[in-house]
């Protein structure tokens, strides 16, 4: 079974985060827990409880990264520039359909299962698409599609 669909850049960033958390991160948290233990009574030791909470959050993120990095499908993402019906072209918005772990400075990342993401996926420049938003139907015109 293939894992998450990720761009090469997201895969590399997540792989580096995983390596950091499973090495330096675990050592740092273990040191914090050990220093807090040396302070005595653990029941009322805020430093100990904070370090254990940090460890729990870090281990949760490690498990999430393991899932995302397990046999990922490396994909080329596309950025869609769209304008909503009634807006001028200078009010265009840019969206990339992809995993929420993607980071793109020039566009908002939307899920392929979101109403807009599902309708935009595979659209071409010039297409006009109507989708059902929580507030009712919205129509967008695709101005441009670019691969990233």
Reported as a pLDDT band with limits 50, 70 and 90, residue 2 is low
CA 31, 53, 21, 2: dihedral to nearest 10 degrees?
A: 150
Q: What is the mean pLDDT of the segment spanning 98-123?
A: 92
- CA dist., res. 61 & res. 104, Å (int): 21
Q: What is the pLDDT of residue 94?
A: 97
pLDDT tens readout for residues 58-76: 999 999 999 999 999 998 8
- Whole-structure pTM value: 0.78
Average pLDDT, the chain: 92
Residue 40, pLDDT > 80, answer no
**Beta carbons of 8 and 74 less than 8 angstroms apart:** yes
Q: What is the pLDDT of residue 90?
A: 95
Give the CATH number of domain 76-147: 3.10.50.30
In whole angstroms, give the CA distance from residue 46 to residue 57: 16
State the pLDDT at residue 92: 97
Q: Where in the chain is the domain with CATH 1.10.287.180?
A: 5-73
Domain limits, CATH 3.10.50.30, in the chain: 76-147
Report the pLDDT value the prediction gives residue 31, as an integer from 0 to 100.
Answer: 95
Hey, how many other C-beta atoms are within 10 angstroms of the C-beta on 130?
11
The pLDDT > 70 percentage for the chain reads 98
Query: For 5-73, CATH number?
Result: 1.10.287.180
pLDDT given for residue 72 in this prediction: 93
């Amino acid at each position: 079974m293939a894992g998450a669909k990720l761009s090469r850049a997201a895969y590399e960033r997540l792989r580096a985060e995983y390596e950091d958390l499973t090495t330096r991160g675990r050592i740092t948290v273990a040191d914090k827990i050990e220093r807090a233990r040396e302070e005595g009574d653990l029941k009322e030791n805020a430093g100990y409880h904070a370090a254990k909470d940090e460890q729990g959050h870090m281990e949760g993120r490690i498990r999430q990264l393991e899932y995302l990095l397990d046999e990922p499908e490396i994909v080329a993402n596309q950025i869609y520039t769209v304008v909503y019906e009634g807006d001028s072209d200078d009010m265009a918005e840019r969206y990339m359909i992809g995993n929420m772990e993607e980071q793109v400075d020039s566009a908002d990342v939307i899920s392929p299962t979101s109403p807009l993401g599902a309708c935009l996926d595979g659209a071409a420049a010039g297409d006009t698409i109507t989708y059902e938003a929580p507030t009712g139907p919205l129509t967008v015109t695709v101005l441009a599609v670019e691969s990233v």
